[in-house]
Structure 1
Amino acid sequence: MLLYITLSLWAMRPMAFVVRLSKPNCQEKCGNVTIPYPFGIGLECSADSSFTVSCRNITNPETPFLSSLNMEVLDISMDYSTITLNQLVSPLNCSLEQKGVYLGKSLSRTPFIFSRLYSVLAVLGCNNVVTLLSNGTTTAGGCVAICGYGSKSNDSGCNGVNCCKANIPLGLQTPQVIYRVIDSNNNNSSCGSLGLDDLERLREDEEKKYPEEKEAEYVCDQQCPAKGIYTPDERSRSKPQT
């Protein structure tokens, strides 16, 4: 699953917008991932602690982590001002009683916000109604997924049969959802999984299922004008490449 985080322009203004891979005498890659400035491997090589990457020798090749969120870095693209991170999805344990869950880590103490350009709230499963809260207080959207037995999760384009989606609001930093089942005759407590997902990948992966331990991908979108500012229309024509 792709989750986008947007770096606000105000946080980037003090920085010099020079297009370069890394600071002088700094390591440019960790494993297969290039780490361009303002990100950097180690505090001395990054713009500040929000952009510090640690290169961990837990796999071969080494694995980069964004230190401020302690999440694995899958890709950084300065052309699209994006960073892609890795995290587990959130399983739903449904009942008639309304429940709540936070989607991943809060960004309230970081310069990042979740992007509404590339991400949607995606629910894979059925017999559930899900409401997205903006920063814990305001209803910002939601969707209902009914069960279409024998149908694949995206046969309907993720429009409510075994899968549903909802747009996310601008400025979201602490995504929280509340959910419950809609059919009291269905006693299955596992009614799906959810997260902030990449809409394009959601449509392409027909057989996508999110078991409890499946990993998801976050893409953090930093609106840094290093190569100009894209309009939403311009940026939606293609996806960032790894």
Structure 2
Amino acid sequence: MASLQMFIFALLLVYSQSVPTQFSKPGCPEKCGNLTIPYPFGIGKECYFDDEFEISCNSSTHVASLPALGGLNIQKISQENIVVDAFNLPFLFNKTTGENLDGPLLGEIDGSHYHYSNTQNKLVSFGCDTFAYIQDYSSRQIVSECATFCNDGNNSSFSDLGHCEADLISHPGKQFRAWMHTMNTPKKL
């Protein structure tokens, strides 16, 4: 039997390129909706430092996104960091065997100016009797982990689901894997 569990990894990226900081370049759009776009980021050709700082602005929704990172939507942007939409992905696993049906998630920003913030990101997991963790892809070091537990009975609403949050205990590097497993805890008789 498959069981749907949810894993969330809020994502704050910090860029590590030394470039002069200023407001948008002259002649370039300064805003996408309510979001002010500071240089080295920019909207339109020759308005950004290099391709990794290109911002795409949807003209109908006024939502800014970062094409270099798969089009993640931007929530906040400053000259020091950029906050993009969280990974909010369902995991499917066999509740009896605990086997992940989809394998691990893989977050990758390898080869870019960006790195994950270990002080501003959290691992958040919803589900019953699960163990979730984030592992640095290269070192295999676990950088965050948490477990959820639920009361016996049918969980009929979202508020009945187990929930856990954990800070990242170390820097996750440029690539990470996220895992979620059932703990197959025995039920009370």
Please say if residues 23 and 37 of structure 2, whose CA atoms lie closer than 8 Å, have aligned partners that are also in contact: yes
Q: Residue 163 of structure 1 corresponds to which residue in structure 2?
A: 163
Distance 2:35 2:133 in 1: 35
Q: Indicate the SS of the match to 2:52.
A: helix
Distance 1:23 1:111 in 2: 20
Shift of 1:153: 8.2
> How many equivalent pairs are there?
169
Distance 2:47 2:83 in 1: 19
Higher relative contact order (CA 8 A, sep 6+): 1
Higher strand share: 2
Name stretches of at least 5 consecutive residues in structure 2 with no aligned partner.
Answer: 1-7
Please say if residues 131 and 139 of structure 1, whose CA atoms lie closer than 8 Å, have aligned partners that are also in contact: no
Q: Residue 64 of structure 2 corresponds to which residue in structure 1?
A: 64
Please say if residues 133 and 179 of structure 2, whose CA atoms lie closer than 8 Å, have aligned partners that are also in contact: yes
Distance 1:83 1:29 in 2: 15
C-alpha RMSD of matched pairs (Å): 2.8
Q: How does 1:1-242 map to 2 (within 5 A)?
A: 2-8=10-16, 11-12=17-18, 15-16=19-20, 18=21, 20-59=22-61, 62-69=62-69, 70-78=71-79, 81-86=80-85, 89-95=88-94, 96-99=97-100, 100-102=103-105, 105-135=107-137, 138-140=140-142, 141-148=144-151, 162-168=162-168, 169-183=170-184
Counting aligned pairs with the same residue, the percent is 26
Please say if residues 56 and 65 of structure 2, whose CA atoms lie closer than 8 Å, have aligned partners that are also in contact: yes
Distance 1:75 1:179 in 2: 29
Q: Indicate the SS of the match to 2:57.
A: strand
Q: 1:131 to 1:63 in 2, by over 3 A?
A: closer
TM-score if structure 1 supplies the norm length? Answer: 0.60
Name stretches of at least 5 consecutive residues in structure 1 with no aligned partner.
Answer: 155-160, 187-242
Please say if residues 23 and 30 of structure 2, whose CA atoms lie closer than 8 Å, have aligned partners that are also in contact: yes
Distance 2:75 2:134 in 1: 26
Q: Residue 206 of structure 1 corresponds to which residue in structure 2?
A: none
TM-score if structure 2 supplies the norm length? Answer: 0.75
Q: Deviations over 1:164-189 (max 9, x none)?
A: 23332314222212222112668xxx
Which range moves more in the overlay, 134-143 or 43-52? Answer: 134-143
Q: 1:108 to 1:121 in 2, by over 3 A?
A: same
Q: Indicate the SS of the match to 1:138.
A: coil
